[in-house]
Structure 1
Amino acid sequence: MLGDSISWLWNNPVTREVYRCPKKVGELILGPSKKGEQVVTKVVEVLPVDMINIPSYARWFVRLAGISGASAVALGAYGAHVFYRREYPEELKQVYETANRYHFLHTLALLGVPLCKHPRLAGSLIVTGTAIFCGTCYYYALTGSKNVRQYTPYGGMMLIIGWLAMVL
């Protein structure tokens, strides 16, 4: 019974390739030998020469991009459905819109951080710069208080340096 199901599996070329494709390192796969016998082999990780090897610590920036993107969408929705409809000065609405635009753009920049040569440096600068720049802009737009606006340029400078760090 088992032999019939496996022979059908190996006679179908599409199913054979899907079945032979390992799901994870260390998984056991079943495959035919040259004499038609069943052979169990253990999968080991072999990276192709042309594949980009991204270090595990750099992948955290992709996760941070997910969190940042979700918060940018939530803040954008709040701005569109609540903030813009209230009686606020036009200047505060423009500041909120700028903060949200930069939040989105630098969220996308975080997705490219694992591909650069120094991802810790570039990613840390972009995350910190986004938090300072956008955070102070959001705070000013929502409260009208100018006491944190003095830190906004520092966030902007960190963003510029973060982009330049991606070039290194």
Structure 2
Amino acid sequence: MSRVGKYPVTVPAGTTVQVADGTIEAKGKLGQRSLKLVDEVEAVLEEGKLWIKPRSDSQRARMMWGTYRALAQSLVTGVSEGFTKALEISGVGYRAAVEGKTLKLQLGYSHDVIFPIPSDVQIKTERPTAIAVSGIDRQRVGQVAAEIRAYRGPEPYKGKGIRYADETILRKEGKKK
């Protein structure tokens, strides 16, 4: 039995959820998104709570039960609160700045790295060494943050590079005489 799927998705105030033809549509203060369900699960909206239920007792139906409950939770949370990933830059001369629709990164290369900001996410730089990626789609926010981090991942000796704010870098000892 799914330990995730058996709990309902609570719909917060100010967010409307509709279930029709195997599709969940959510509208909130940040926007609108929809989720197409697979044939193995169904969604039921009761008293401000969204329940995801398996149609059969097969193994695939039980797998999809927990998966689609988690996706529905992300859908509702995204349109009501949104998601944010924070990135930290460490290194001498390493910095970031938002210039119009692009993110300009100076990461120790001979050239600046120009990252075009996708239309479905917002990127802010509170300080030259802090980047915040936010949006309503959890997967998209994580993907954009991973793409930015990939330009100069953290290295284990001095910790220089781009890392997630909650990430710890395992440091290695340098050369010995």
With normalisation by structure 1, the TM-score equals 0.28
Q: Where is the strand percentage greater, Structure 1 or Structure 2?
A: 2
Between structure 1 and structure 2, the one with the greater Rg is 1
With normalisation by structure 2, the TM-score equals 0.27
